[in-house]
């Protein structure tokens, strides 16, 4: 009985660690949707204390995200495309956010540390449509 309780507790704690990075992503998008761009960027980087050594790059990310609304309009939808795990210690999570004008891809990378997950990288770009076109063409050719 004690062994099964210990096993269940261990499995629950592993699931909690696995979802830690997801809750950070959810918090980022919740703040971002509400126009709290600086807070959103700070929230995604809060798990990595080493980010404070590159404040100019963080300010640049905040400025780019702030100017995005004027370029692409309002957010219509936020959807997860994929989560790619590298073993048990690294994940790459990709989202597609559609705006009035065009979609933007957001990518988050996290690695496991002793107490959960730490953000490794955060980026966004509009290169996704070109990649989709290449994949679609490959798919069409292989279907013949």
pLDDT at 109: 97
C-alpha distances (whole Å) from 110 to each of 31, 41, 135 are 19, 15, 26
pLDDT at 134: 86
Q: Give me the helix-helix angle, 37-45 and 55-72, nearest 10°.
A: 140
**Contact (CB, 8 A) for 79 and 85:** no
pLDDT at 131: 84
**Contact (CB, 8 A) for 83 and 93:** yes
pLDDT at 140: 82
Specify the 3-state DSSP secondary structure of 96: strand
Report how many domains make up the chain.
1
Residue 55 has a CB neighbour count (10 Å cut-off) of: 9
Domain around 55:
2-143
List all residues 6 or more positions away from 123 whose beta carbon is below 8 Å from its beta carbon.
Answer: 106, 107
Four-point Cα dihedral 26, 93, 45, 56, nearest 10: -130
pTM of the predicted model as reported, rounded to 2 decimal places: 0.80
**Angle subtended at Cα 28 by Cα 115 and Cα 118, rounded to the nearest 5 degrees:** 25
pLDDT at 9: 36
Q: Which residues in the chain come in under a pLDDT of 70?
A: 1-19, 52, 144
The CATH number of residue 131's host domain is 3.10.450.50
């Amino acid at each position: 009985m004690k062994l099964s309780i210990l096993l269940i507790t261990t499995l629950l704690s592993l699931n909690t660690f696995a979802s830690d990075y997801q809750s950070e992503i959810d918090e980022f998008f919740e703040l971002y949707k509400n126009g709290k761009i600086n807070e959103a960027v700070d929230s995604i980087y809060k798990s990595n204390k080493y980010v404070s050594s590159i404040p100019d790059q963080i300010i640049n990310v905040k400025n780019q995200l702030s100017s995005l609304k004027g370029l692409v309009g309002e957010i219509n939808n936020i959807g997860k495309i994929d989560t790619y795990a590298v073993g048990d210690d690294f994940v790459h999570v990709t989202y597609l956010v559609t705006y009035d004008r065009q979609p933007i891809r957001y990518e988050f990378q996290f690695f496991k540390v002793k107490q959960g997950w730490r953000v490794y990288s955060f980026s966004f770009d509009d290169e996704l449509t070109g990649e989709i076109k290449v994949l679609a063409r490959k798919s069409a050719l292989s279907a013949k």
